[in-house]
Chains A and B, each alone.
Chain A
Amino acid sequence: MALTKVLLFGAGVFLVCLSAAVTSAAVCDVETAGKIMRMADLYGIDSTGGDIWAVGPKGMIFHTVNMGKTWDLQETGIGNELFSVSFADNHGWAVGRFGVVLHTEDRGEHWEVQQREIADRKPSLYKVQFVNATTGWAVGEWGTIIHTVDGGKSWTSQSLLTATGEGEDITGDESPEEEAALDQPDDEGIFEEEFIEGDEAGDALVSAGDKFLYGLYFVNSECGWVVGESGTIGHTADGGNTWVLQESPQGRKSLYSVYFRDVETGWACGIDGTIIYTNDGGDTWNAASAVPTEESLYDVVLHEEVLWTVGKKGIILSSADGGKTWKFGDNNPVVYYWLIDLVSAEGNLIIAGGHGAVLISPDGGRTW
Chain B
Amino acid sequence: MHKNIVQSIARLVVNNRHVCMILMILITAFFGYYISKITIGSNMADLLPRENAYVKLDNQFRQIFGGSNLVLIQVRVKDGDIFNEETLWKVRRITDKLIFFPGVDRYKVYSIAVRKFKNVVVSDWGMQFPPLMWPDIPKSDEEMNALRRKIFTNDMYYGTFVSFDAKAALISAEFFEEDINYRELFNEFQKIRSEEENDNTEINIAGDPLILGYIDHYLKQTYVIMGLTFFAMVVLLYFYTRSFSFMLVPVLSSLISAIWGIGFAGMLGFNIDPLIFVVPLLITARALSHSIQFDERLVEEMEHVRNWKQAVENTIVALFYPGLSGIITDGAGILIIAIIPIPLLFKLALICFFWATSVVFSVLFFNPVLNLYLPPHDVESTDHARGLFDRLLDGIISLSAGKNAWVVVMVVVLLVGGFFYLDKKFPLVIGDAKPGTPLLWPDSQYNTDEARINEYFPGVMNPLLVVVEGEKEEAIKEPAVLEAMVDFQWEVASLSEVTASLAYPTLLKTIQMKFYEDYPKWFIIPDDAHKVGVVAYLMSGGGAEPGDYDKYVDYEFKNSNITVFCRDRMGTTIDSVIKYCEDYINKFEDEDTEASNLLDFKLAAGLIGLRHAVNAEIEKYRFTLITLALILTAIFCNFFFWGVSPGILLILPLFVANFFVTRYMALMDIGLNINTLPVASIAVGIGVNYGIYLMGRVKEEMAHKKDLDAAVAVAIKTTGKAITFTGVTIILGVITWVFSSIRFQAEMGILLAVVTVFHLVGSLILLPAVILIVRPRFLLK
Contact = CB atoms under 8 A, between A and B. Distances in A.
B531 A177 contact: yes
Nearest to B526: A177
B593 A19 contact: yes
Interface in B580-615: 583-584, 587-588, 591, 593
A312 interface: yes
Given A13-B494, A18-B587, A296 B538 contact: no
A212 B515 CA distance: 13
Interface in B484-509: 486-487, 490-491, 493-496, 500
B375 to A, nearest CB: 75
Contact of B491 (A14, A195, A312): A14
Given A18-B587, A18-B588, A38-B500, A97 B524 contact: yes
Interface in B112-140: 122, 124-128
Contact of A35 (B152, B164, B496): B496
B159 interface: yes
Contact of B124 (A16, A181, A194, A354): A194
Interface string A56-83: 0010000000000000000000010101
Contact of B538 (A12, A184, A195, A214): A184
Contacts of A176: 515-516
Contacts of B122: 180
B126 A191 contact: yes
Contacts of A271: 517
Interface string A266-308: 0000010000000000000000000000001010000000000
Contact of A183 (B125, B496, B521, B583): B125
A364 B225 CA distance: 68
A interface, size bucket: 35 or more
B534 A181 contact: yes
Contact of A313 (B126, B128, B152, B517): B152
A312 to B, nearest CB: 7
Nearest to B128: A185
Given A13-B494, A37-B493, A122-B527, A185 B521 contact: no
Contacts of A195: 124
A274 to B, nearest CB: 11
A184 B541 contact: yes
Chain B interface main SS type: mixed
B519 A256 contact: yes
A19 B491 contact: no
Contacts of B578: none
B164 to A, nearest CB: 7
A43 interface: yes
A336 B520 contact: no
Interface string A332-364: 000011101000000000000010000000000
B494 A11 contact: yes
A124 B521 contact: yes
A191 B126 CA distance: 9
Contacts of A97: 524
Nearest to B530: A178
Interface in A172-223: 175-178, 180-181, 183-185, 187, 191, 193-195, 212, 214
A232 to B, nearest CB: 14
A340 B519 CA distance: 9
B593 A184 contact: no
A46 interface: no
Report the 5 A-B pairs with minimum CB-CB distance, sorted nearest first: A183-B126, A184-B126, A14-B494, A191-B125, A176-B515
Interface of A: 11-14, 16, 18-20, 35, 37-39, 41, 43, 58, 79, 81, 83, 97, 122, 124, 126, 175-178, 180-181, 183-185, 187, 191, 193-195, 212, 214, 254, 256, 271, 296, 298, 312-313, 336-338, 340, 354
